Amino acid sequence: MIHKSRSIIVLLALILTACSSAAGATPTGSVNTGTQVVPSKTVEPAGAEPSATSNAAIAESGETPAAPAGLECSLPLPSEKDWPVTLCETFDDNQNNWLVESQDNSYSTYSIDVVDGAYMLDYTAKAFAQFKQTALSWFPVTQAQDFALSVTTLMDSEFQSNSWGIAFRADENMDSFFLFSIYNDGTYAFEIYENGNWIPLISQRVFGGIQPGEPNKLTVVAEGGDFSFYINDEPVNTFSGGLLTNNGIQLLVSAKEGASATYSFDNIVMQSAS
């Protein structure tokens, strides 16, 4: 069952110097509901090299594993684990009732709809804080705690700071969640948002397999506190010790003030343990 609700816009101050991050910056923006404040993210320079490796869970042969009992799916599965397919979406139509809406608020304008075989999001962040902040929005996918999920997305934008990713283990109000994302400058990162703070768990770093201006496929495999991350079917990193236990999964995008992008989400496949 795909859970649908309205997306929420939040702000986060993102203050960078040429060669270092601005840790501990004082937050200046709040969500449009007025219920919380989102502080700054901490990132490393985009030139930082990867320092960790991960275990490969996708067959090197390129063969698609047979789907366990569950939904039939002709797309490649995100994992070799014996988990049933619970979501297989090609957006040929909107039979799964994905969120369709347009918004024009203080921080951004956007419209999202199922169009031409993709889940299309046209997104523009407004100038609302002297070009010092970033608009962040998320859109619900489904719910699962232990899962393997892959999403292919074309991020069409001239702005290198734009990003998209998969948020998971999220609570109902998005007060806490993990986020695996890629940026339009060829970098990726893994973070946790909790207790009103962003904490980098895998700092923003370059991966040569990211193809700016082309569709890129992100895969997250989460089992207990252990997570594996893939970009375009290549293992890029792992993380152990994740303690969040909620089950919300969201597509998340971000853009600095004045930046715009079109995101074309497609071929969403999930296997879940329960």
> The pTM is what?
0.78
pLDDT of residue 257: 96
Q: Which token pair is 183? A: 């940026």
**140 in Cβ contact with 5 (< 8 Å):** yes
**Per-residue pLDDT, 36:** 27
Residues 118, 136: Cα–Cα separation, whole Å:
21
> What pLDDT sits at residue 272?
97
Identify the structural domains of the chain with CATH numbers, from first to last: 8-272 (2.60.120.560)
Query: What local confidence, expressed as pLDDT, does residue 70 receive?
Result: 86
Q: Which residues contact 60 (CB under 8 A, 6 or more apart)?
A: none
Place of tokens 């997250």: 220
Distance, CA of 216 to CA of 154 (rounded, Å): 6
- Consecutive sets of 10 residues in the chain, 274 residues long: mean pLDDT of each? 42 34 26 28 32 31 50 96 97 97 94 98 94 93 98 98 98 97 98 95 98 98 98 99 97 97 99 89
Do 72 and 86 contact (CB within 8 A), yes or no?
Answer: no
